[in-house]
Structure formats: C-alpha cells, structure tokens
Amino acid sequence: MSKKSSNFVAVLEEKQHIGQLFDRIASTYDGLNHGLSLNIDRRWRRKTVSLMAPAKHVLDVAIGTADLTIEMLRQGKVEQVTGIDLSDQMMAIGQGKVERMKDLANEQVQFVHANAQAMPFEDASFDGVTCAFGCRNFSNLDEGLREMYRVLKPGGQVTILEFSYPTRRYIRVLYDFYFTHVLPTIGRIVSRDKTAYTYLNKSVKSFCWGEAFAQHLHDAGFKEESFETLTFGIATIYTAIK
C-alpha cells in the first residue's frame, strides 16, 4: 500500500472513534488551538461569523468547546444556538464558557450529543447552519453535508470554516514543516496524547478544499456556493444557500 493510501486508511480509522479522540484532548484543546495558531484561529472565527447572514436559530455542527457559537453571540448574529457534537468532554468545556458569559443571560445555547451524519432534528428546523473545523472529521463528508441541507430552512445559509492546503509552494514548505514536526510535538507534550495531533496533520492532507469542497456542497443540494481563503490558504470559509 502506498504511503498516501495507508495515511488515508489510518485517518478513516481515527474517524470511527472521533468522539473519544476529542474527549481525550478536550482539557487542553482551547489552549493548544490558540497557542499553536498564535491566536489566528480567533481571527478566522470572527471573520467566519462576519460572513454569516443574521439568523434566529442556528445549528452549530461539531460545536466542540463553543468558540464559534460564542463569537456568533458576541457579534449579535443569532438569538439561539443548538450545538451538536460527539464529544461530551468538549461540550462540557463549551457549556462552562457559555455560562460564564454574564452578558448573554438572555441568549440560549443548547448542547446535544449527536452525530452530524444522522441528526435527531426534523427537516427545515434551523434558520442557519454553521460548522468550524468539523467537516474534516466526518467519516462520510457527503452524509454530513446532506444532513446540514435537510435540517436547514429553505433560503437559509450554511457557513463552514475548515483547514485547507496552501497553494503557494514556499508557503507549503513552511506549512509542511510546521504541521509535520512542530505541531505534533507540542501537541503531544501538552495534551499527553500520542495520536491526536498527528491525526490533525494527516486529516488536513487527506481532505478536500476550495472548488472540490464547494462541489460537495453543490452535490448535497446547496446553491450559490462560494469560498474565501484565509492566511495564505491555511483555512477557508465556505458559504452556500438552501
């Protein structure tokens, strides 16, 4: 088996137990995210929310520790958020953070343990759907995107933030070095988890981005797909309409 296909199989295996993987690293997730990205991830989430159409009730898929949800509430883009995730530990940290936001007393955030690929919601339940750094972890991307489409109301917007792979060659060299050597080493030491941060690198490389991801949105039924790259193409924001 080639290195590329054995990586792909290894990533797929990790995805079968993705909730447990994030349970293990939940307590160090936020600190490592902000530290390893030099806080750029915060800017990416701010930008993502700024591209969202205001929506009354939003579904935040793979809510994790609720950073995107909190940014939506901060920017006043939503009245109510339902977040789903497979990791209870990630959501417990997110819940604590939401509860500590005193000025959000009137806002409502509900955390639900659920799989993005088989959501426990009626068709057309939400005015908007978001997902930050979640899609790459689905064992079947198309199933997840079809579910997002199903639970969104007609005319509603899906907004997705995901890692992508830089197109410029010299940026790729730096990126590869950072994601292959620096990030897994620091991630392993801080989180004390051997595999989680090598999984991050492998999962980004084996995932689609740009036009290819937009095509998956289209195939799931969405229209008006568009995308905007961030920070040399390290991340991309996708939007589309039902």
Binding site for ligand SAM (CB under 6 A): 18-19, 22, 62-65, 67-68, 84-87, 90, 115-117, 132-134, 137-138
Query: Do 156 and 128 form a contact (C-beta atoms < 8 A)?
Result: yes
User: Closer to ligand SAM at the Cβ: 116 or 240?
Assistant: 116
Minimum CB distance to ligand SAM, residue 29 (Å):
7
Q: How far is the CB of 169 from ligand SAM (least distance, A)?
A: 27
DSSP reduced 3-state for 175: helix
Torsion of CA 10, 213, 67, 19, to 10 degrees: -30
Residue 16 or 168: which CB sits closer to ligand SAM?
Answer: 16
The token pair that represents 190 in the structure block: 């801080």
Separation CA 131–CA 133 (nearest Å): 7
Min CB(83)–ligand SAM separation in Å? 8
Hey, what are 4's tokens?
A: 């590329």
The span from the CA of 229 to the CA of 227, in Å, is: 7
Taking the complex as a whole, the smallest distance from the CB of residue 84 to ligand SAM amounts, in Å, to 6
Q: How many CA atoms lie within 13 A of 135 on its CB side?
A: 30
Q: Indicate the residue type of 204.
A: V
Distance CA 230, CA 204 (A): 15
Cα-flanking dihedrals φ and ψ of residue 114, to 5°?
A: -160, 155
Judged by CB, which is closer to ligand SAM: 65, or 191?
65
Output 105 or 202, the one with its CB closest to ligand SAM: 202
Closest-approach residue to ligand SAM (CB) = 64
Minimum distance of ligand SAM from residue 2's CB (angstroms): 26
Q: Kindly state the smallest distance separating residue 24's Cβ from ligand SAM, in Å.
A: 11
Least distance CB 136 / ligand SAM (angstroms): 8
Instruction: Decide if 129 contacts 148 (C-beta within 8 A).
Output: yes
Output 72 or 86, the one with its CB closest to ligand SAM: 86
Pick 65 or 157: Cβ nearer ligand SAM: 65
DSSP 115: B
Cα 159 from Cα 155, distance rounded (Å)? 13
Please, which residue, 100 or 223, has the CB nearer to ligand SAM? 100
